[in-house]
C-alpha cells in the first residue's frame, strides 16, 4: 500500500524545474501527479511517476539530489467535502498530515489524492478502518 | 605515567628560567655561527644582548618556510658537517624542499621527547608498537621508532602497506599500539568491519597514533569505534624534529607542548602581534636545545591557541588546542579572525557536511555560506531543510560571532577550482 514518490531538491533558479521535467521526458517517464513546496531560495518537487527507479536514475544522472519517500494514495469521491472528511479522520486519530496533493486525472470518477502522514503505517491503518479507498501502488503508477 | 617526572612537572618559574637560559644560548649560537641569521638580526636592528627576558623574543626576526627553502640544502647549519648524524627533508607542494639536520644530541632529544609522549599515553616497556609509517626522509617513521625503543617497548618496523602482513604481525606479536596515517587507519577500519568481531578479539590493540595528514574529529571517532582503541592527537613538523612536539596526555584535553625544547608564541597572522593565552593565532616555535640547525621564531602557519589552565595530569608544560587550520586560509570579517575550518567544524557537527561548502564575502561585511544539499542531507522534507538552515545559521553565529546567511544549493553548482578546492571567495572591494 506504500506508494513511492520521487522528491528532488530544487534551487529556486530559473529553469531548474524545467531541467527536471526535461530529464524525465527524455527518459520517457510519465508524471502522474506533481507538487512543489518552496521557500524563497529553494524547494522540493514531489512527483508520482510511471517508473520510480528509472525516474530516479534519470534525475540523478542529470545532477539532481533525489529521494524516494513513501506516501499514501487514496480515492476521494468527487463531491464537496470529500477530502475534508478524510483529513478529519486522520486529525481525530492525532496524525499530522505533512502534505497533500492531487492527481490531474480522475480514476473511475474518483479524485486521486496523495498524502503523507508522519507515520505511514498508522496512516494506512487509520484510513483503512475508516473505510477510505486506498490505491495499490501498481495502479497508481499507471493511472 | 611520566617518563621524566621532574622536568615534566617542573614549576613554571623554574621552567621559564630554563627557557630563558636556553633561548639566550640559542640566539648567541645562531648569531655567531649562521651568517643568514646574523643578516636577519641586523635587518631587524637587534642582537643577542637584547634578549633579557622571554618576552624579548618579539625583538627577534621570524624564520619562514621561504627562509628554509632559500637556505636549502645546508645554509642554516650551526655546526660543522662532521657533527651531523642525520638529515630529514620535508617536501613542499611548490619549489624546493626543506632540509633539517640533526646531531647525535639532537636525535637523542627528539627521541626523549617522543618517549615522554608515548609514556604519557600509557606505553611501557611491555608494549608492542607496530610502526606503520614510512621510514625515510619523512621524520614520522624514524622518530616514533626511536621514541618507543627508548622506552624499551618492542618496535615492529612494519612500514607502510601490505595489509595482510600488517594484520598477521598484529596477531602474532600482540601489537598494543599502532602508528599510521589516518587514511590507512580508515582502510584498516573497513577491513576490521569485514573480518568481524572474532578477529578483533584476537588482537591486543589499545591505542593508535595518527600522523602525516590532518584528520577530523569524526574520522577519529570512527576509527576509535571500529578499531576499538584510543586515538591520541599529536602535533609535530619536520622543521621541529617531526612528531612529538606536542601530544595528548591521558586526560585528552589539548596537547602538552614540550616547553623545555621549544619556546612557543601565538601571534596574529595578519599583524604579527603576540596574542594572549586562550586566543587563536599562528603558532610560532623556537628551538631551545637544537645544536645542528637551531630555528628562531619559526612560522608554522598552523592555527591554535594555548590553553592557560593547568592540566589535571600535573604537567606544567602548557597545552595547545587541536590545530584549527592554516594561517594562509584565514580571513577577517568585522574585525574578527575567521578560518574556514571553524565553519567546516560547525557544518560537520550539524549536518555532516565536510567539503561541500563555500564562503562568499561581499561588501558591508556580508557573509554567505553556501552548503550543497547532498543525498545524506535530503530526506524530502521541507521542514527539515528549513530547520537545517536555521540550525546552521545559529551554530555558525555562536562559533564566529557573526551571523552569516546560509544558503542551501544543489550539488555540483559550486564552482570547483583546479586542484585544491577553493573555499573562500572574497568579493569585497573595501576592507
Ligand atoms: Zn595533561
Instruction: State mean pLDDT over A36-40.
Output: 87
Provide the grid cell at B328: 594562509
Decide if B381 and A11 are in contact by the 8 Å CB cutoff.
no
Chain B hits for A46, CB-CB cut-off 8 Å, are 380
CA nearest to B335, candidates B365, B363, B302, B301: B365
Decide if B413 and A16 are in contact by the 8 Å CB cutoff.
no
CA nearest to B181, candidates B198, B159, B150: B159
CB B355 within 8 A of CB B423: no
- Residue range B226-283, pLDDT digits in tens: 999 999 999 999 999 999 999 999 999 999 999 999 999 999 998 999 999 999 999 9
Instruction: Give the residue on A whose Cα is nearest the Cα of B383.
Output: A98
Decide if A64 and B373 are in contact by the 8 Å CB cutoff.
no
Q: Tell me what pLDDT residue B278 has.
A: 95
Decide if A11 and B409 are in contact by the 8 Å CB cutoff.
yes
Tell me whether A65 touches chain B (CB under 8 Å): yes
When mean pLDDT is compared across A98-102, B73-77, B292-296, B332-336, the lowest value belongs to B332-336
Tell me whether A44 touches chain B (CB under 8 Å): yes
Within 13 Å of residue A131, how many CA atoms lie on the same side as its CB? 1
CB B15 within 8 A of CB B21: no
Instruction: State mean pLDDT over A74-78.
Output: 88
Residue B153 has pLDDT above 90, yes or no: yes
Q: Specify whether A58 is located in the same domain as A83.
A: no
Position A142 confidence tier, pLDDT thresholds 50, 70, 90: confident
Within 13 Å of residue A52, how many CA atoms lie on the same side as its CB? 17
Cα gap B12→B17, rounded to integer Å: 8
Residue B373 has pLDDT above 90, yes or no: no
Cα of B340 vs centre of ligand 1, distance in Å, is 28
Residue with cell 599562528: B282
Q: Tell me what pLDDT residue B421 has.
A: 62
Q: Tell me what pLDDT residue B430 has.
A: 60
Express as a percent the part of chain B with pLDDT over 90.
72
Residue B316: how many other CB atoms lie within 10 Å? 18
Decide if A16 and B386 are in contact by the 8 Å CB cutoff.
no
Q: Complex ipTM, two decimals? A: 0.83
- Per CATH, the homologous superfamily of domain B331-426 is ANL, C-terminal domain (3.30.300.30)
- Residue range B158-213, pLDDT digits in tens: 998 899 999 999 999 999 999 998 889 988 998 999 999 999 999 999 999 998 87
Q: Specify whether A132 is located in the same domain as A84.
A: yes
- Residue range B95-114, pLDDT digits in tens: 678 999 999 999 999 999 99
Q: Specify whether A75 is located in the same domain as A135.
A: yes
Phi, psi of B19 (to 5 degrees): -60, -45
Q: Specify whether A24 is located in the same domain as A46.
A: yes
Domain final residue, candidates A45, A69, A93: A69
Residue B94 has pLDDT above 60, yes or no: no
CA nearest to B294, candidates B131, B106, B425: B106
Residue A140 has pLDDT above 70, yes or no: yes
Instruction: Give the residue on A whose Cα is nearest the Cα of B412.
Output: A63
Cα of B309 vs centre of ligand 1, distance in Å, is 10
Q: Tell me what pLDDT residue B120 has.
A: 97
Position B418 confidence tier, pLDDT thresholds 50, 70, 90: very low
Q: Is the peptide bond before B262 cis (omega within 30 degrees of 0)?
A: no
Residue B419 has pLDDT above 50, yes or no: no
Domain final residue, candidates A69, A86, A104: A69
Average pLDDT in chain B? 91
Q: Tell me what pLDDT residue B327 has.
A: 85
Chain B hits for A43, CB-CB cut-off 8 Å, are 382
Residues of chain B with CATH 3.40.50.12780: 1-328
Position A109 confidence tier, pLDDT thresholds 50, 70, 90: confident
- Residue range B305-341, pLDDT digits in tens: 999 999 999 999 999 999 888 888 888 888 788 888 8
Pairing outcome for strands A31-38 and A42-49: antiparallel
The residue range of the domain holding A110 is: 71-141
Q: Between residues B213 and B294, which one has the greater pLDDT?
A: B294
Please, where are the H alpha helices in B132-276?
A: 139-151, 163-173, 182-195, 197-201, 217-227
Q: Specify whether A84 is located in the same domain as A107.
A: yes
Average pLDDT in chain A? 91
CATH of domain B1-328: 3.40.50.12780
Q: How many helices (H) and strands (E) does chain A have?
A: 5, 7
> Distances in Å between the alpha carbon of B44 and those of A19, A27, B41, B63?
62, 71, 5, 12
Q: Tell me what pLDDT residue B95 has.
A: 62
Which of A54-63, A107-116, B84-93, B343-352 tops mean pLDDT?
Answer: A54-63
Using CB atoms, pick whichever of A9, A46, A98 lies closest to residue B373: A9
Q: Specify whether A54 is located in the same domain as A78.
A: no
Instruction: State mean pLDDT over B215-222.
Output: 85
Express as a percent the part of chain A with pLDDT over 70.
100
Q: Counting one residue from A and one from B, how many pairs have CB atoms under 8 Å apart?
A: 51
Express as a percent the part of chain B with pLDDT over 70.
95
Three-class secondary structure of residue B216 per DSSP:
coil
Residue A96 has pLDDT above 70, yes or no: yes
Decide if A41 and B407 are in contact by the 8 Å CB cutoff.
yes
| DSSP summary character for residue A51 | -
Residue B177: how many other CB atoms lie within 10 Å? 26
Q: Specify whether A54 is located in the same domain as A89.
A: no
Q: Specify whether A76 is located in the same domain as A64.
A: no
Chain A hits for B411, CB-CB cut-off 8 Å, are 63, 65
Mutation choice for B interface testing from A65, A66, A67, A116 by most B CBs within 10 A: A65
**Number of domains, chain A:** 2
Q: Specify whether A136 is located in the same domain as A75.
A: yes
Instruction: Give the residue on B whose Cα is nearest the Cα of A60.
Output: B375
Using CB atoms, pick whichever of A5, A9, A98 lies closest to residue B410: A9
CA of A1, closest CA in chain B: separation in Å?
A: 19
Q: Tell me what pLDDT residue B354 has.
A: 58
Reported for B377-384, long-range contacts at CB under 8 A and 24+ positions apart, including other chains, are B377/B351, B377/B352, B377/B353, B378/A7, B378/A9, B378/A65, B378/A67, B379/A67, B379/A69, B380/A5, B380/A7, B380/A44, B380/A46, B380/A67, B380/A68, B380/A69, B381/A44, B381/A98, B382/A37, B382/A38, B382/A39, B382/A43, B382/A44, B383/A98
Domain final residue, candidates A54, A69, A84: A69
Chain A hits for B386, CB-CB cut-off 8 Å, are 39
Residue A118 has pLDDT above 90, yes or no: no
CB B214 within 8 A of CB B323: yes
Q: Torsion angle, CA of B162/B168/B170/B171, rounded to 10 degrees?
A: 170
Decide if B411 and A39 are in contact by the 8 Å CB cutoff.
no
Instruction: Give the residue on B whose Cα is nearest the Cα of A7.
Output: B380
Using CB atoms, pick whichever of B374, B381, B407 lies closest to residue A65: B374
Q: Specify whether A65 is located in the same domain as A84.
A: no
Helix (H) or strand (E) holding B390: helix B382-400
Using CB atoms, pick whichever of A38, A46, A65 lies closest to residue B378: A65
Q: Specify whether A65 is located in the same domain as A22.
A: yes
Cα of B158 vs centre of ligand 1, distance in Å, is 30
Residues of chain B with CATH 3.30.300.30: 331-426
Instruction: State mean pLDDT over A92-111.
Output: 89
Amino acid at each position: 500500500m506504500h506508494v513511492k514518490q520521487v522528491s528532488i531538491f530544487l534551487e529556486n533558479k530559473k529553469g531548474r524545474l524545467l531541467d527536471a521535467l526535461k530529464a524525465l521526458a527524455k527518459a520517457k517517464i510519465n508524471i502522474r501527479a506533481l507538487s512543489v513546496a518552496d521557500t524563497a531560495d529553494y524547494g522540493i518537487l514531489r512527483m508520482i511517476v510511471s517508473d520510480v527507479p528509472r525516474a530516479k536514475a534519470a534525475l540523478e544522472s542529470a545532477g539532481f539530489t533525489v529521494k524516494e519517500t513513501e506516501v499514501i494514495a487514496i480515492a476521494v469521491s468527487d463531491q464537496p467535502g470529500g477530502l475534508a472528511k478524510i483529513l478529519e479522520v486522520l486529525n481525530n486519530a492525532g496524525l499530522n498530515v505533512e502534505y497533500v496533493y492531487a492527481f490531474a486525472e480522475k480514476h473511475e470518477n474518483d479524485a486521486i489524492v496523495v498524502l503523507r502522514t508522519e507515520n505511514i503505517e498508522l496512516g494506512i491503518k487509520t484510513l483503512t478502518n475508516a473505510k477510505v479507498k486506498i490505491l495499490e501502488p501498481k495502479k497508481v503508477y499507471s493511472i | 605515567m611520566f617518563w621524566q617526572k621532574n622536568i615534566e612537572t617542573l614549576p613554571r618559574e623554574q621552567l621559564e628560567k630554563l627557557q630563558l637560559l636556553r633561548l639566550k644560548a640559542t640566539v648567541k649560537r645562531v648569531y655567531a655561527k649562521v651568517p643568514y641569521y646574523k643578516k636577519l638580526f641586523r635587518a631587524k636592528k637587534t642582537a643577542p644582548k637584547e634578549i633579557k627576558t622571554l618576552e624579548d623574543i618579539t625583538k627577534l626576526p621570524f624564520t619562514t618556510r621561504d627562509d628554509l627553502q632559500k637556505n636549502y640544502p645546508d645554509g642554516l647549519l650551526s655546526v660543522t658537517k662532521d657533527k651531523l648524524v642525520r638529515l630529514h627533508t620535508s617536501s613542499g607542494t611548490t619549489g624546493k624542499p626543506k632540509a633539517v639536520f640533526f646531531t647525535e644530541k639532537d636525535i637523542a632529544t627528539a627521541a626523549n621527547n617522543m618517549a615522554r609522549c608515548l609514556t604519557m599515553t600509557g606505553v611501557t616497556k611491555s608494549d608492542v608498537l607496530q610502526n606503520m609509517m614510512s621510514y625515510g626522509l619523512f621524520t614520522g617513521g624514524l622518530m616514533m621508532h626511536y621514541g618507543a625503543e627508548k622506552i624499551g617497548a618492542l618496535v615492529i618496523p612494519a612500514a607502510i602497506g601490505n595489509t595482510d602482513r600488517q594484520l598477521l604481525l598484529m596477531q602474532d606479536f600482540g601489537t598494543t599500539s599502532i602508528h599510521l596515517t589516518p587514511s590507512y587507519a580508515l582502510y584498516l577500519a573497513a577491513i576490521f568491519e569485514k573480518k568481524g568481531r572474532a578477529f578483533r578479539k584476537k588482537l591486543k590493540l589499545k591505542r593508535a597514533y595518527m600522523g602525516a595528514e590532518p584528520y577530523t574529529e569524526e574520522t577519529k571517532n570512527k576509527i576509535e569505534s571500529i578499531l576499538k582503541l584510543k586515538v591520541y592527537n599529536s602535533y609535530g613538523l619536520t622543521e621541529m624534529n617531526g612528531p612529538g612536539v606536542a601530544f595528548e596526555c591521558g586526560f585528552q584535553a589539548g596537547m602538552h607542548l614540550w616547553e623545555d625544547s621549544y619556546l612557543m608564541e601565538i601571534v596574529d597572522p595578519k599583524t604579527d602581534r603576540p596574542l594572549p593565552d586562550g586566543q587563536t593565532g599562528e603558532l610560532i616555535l623556537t628551538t631551545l636545545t637544537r645544536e645542528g640547525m637551531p630555528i628562531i621564531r619559526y612560522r608554522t602557519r598552523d592555527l591554535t591557541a594555548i590553553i592557560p589552565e593547568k592540566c589535571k595530569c600535573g604537567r606544567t608544560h602548557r597545552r595547545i588546542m587541536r590545530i584549527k587550520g592554516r594561517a594562509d586560509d584565514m580571513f577577517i570579517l568585522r574585525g574578527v579572525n575567521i578560518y574556514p575550518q571553524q565553519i567546516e567544524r560547525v557544518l560537520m557537527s550539524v549536518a555532516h557536511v565536510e567539503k561541500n561548502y563555500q564562503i562568499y564575502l561581499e561588501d558591508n561585511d556580508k557573509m554567505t555560506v553556501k552548503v550543497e544539499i547532498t543525498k545524506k542531507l535530503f530526506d524530502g522534507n521541507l521542514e527539515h531543510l528549513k530547520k537545517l538552515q536555521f540550525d546552521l545559521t545559529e551554530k555558525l553565529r555562536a562559533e564566529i560571532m557573526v551571523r552569516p546567511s546560509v544558503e542551501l544549493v544543489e550539488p555540483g553548482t559550486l564552482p570547483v577550482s583546479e586542484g585544491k578546492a577553493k573555499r573562500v571567495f572574497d568579493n569585497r572591494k573595501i576592507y
